[in-house]
Structure 1
Amino acid sequence: MGWLRLAFFMYVFLTIAYFLTSIYSRSVRREKLEKEWDTDPAREGLTEQERRAFIEAGMVRYDKGLKRRLLWLIYILPTIGFLVTIYFINWY
């Protein structure tokens, strides 16, 4: 029964870690897109709406990309480690 309590608290912690990492990763990506827009001299005369559209399009690409999906490893790797540990302690 103790392993259920441990698993519960592990997933609570992993959920917090996932959301914090997700927020940080999105903010880093948004900042990179903003810097890309600001440093490109070809975009100097464009409007703020075009800038927002560029950043939002980049964020949509980020949400569908590999980096966003790799964040699920925050759940997957500890779960595998937890299950392997339980297996070796009980049956090996």
Structure 2
Amino acid sequence: MDKQRRYDLDWLRVCSVFAVFLHHVCMPFNGDNFHIMNNESSKIIDDMMVYFEQFRLPILFLVSGVGTVFAFSKKNMVSVYN
């Protein structure tokens, strides 16, 4: 296997971590019960958060799994556990 860097996976990781950050920044403004709440909630922010919740964690698991496959393809299983 060649040692070419996968910049698309790097950017997918960056964007998905930034999406997690934005999700937590928007938490006080949606209608859910959060420990810090704004007096006014936004239905648009709540709808966007609900929509992107279905992609956020699966993308992080996908990128992590692909990175694990790439890491294990460079070594054999014995050297990984030693």
- Shorter-normalised TM range: 0.3 to 0.5
Structure ranking higher in helix proportion: 1
Normalising by structure 2, what TM-score? 0.41
More contact order relative to length (CA 8 Å, sep ≥ 6): 1
- Larger radius of gyration between Structure 1 and Structure 2: 1
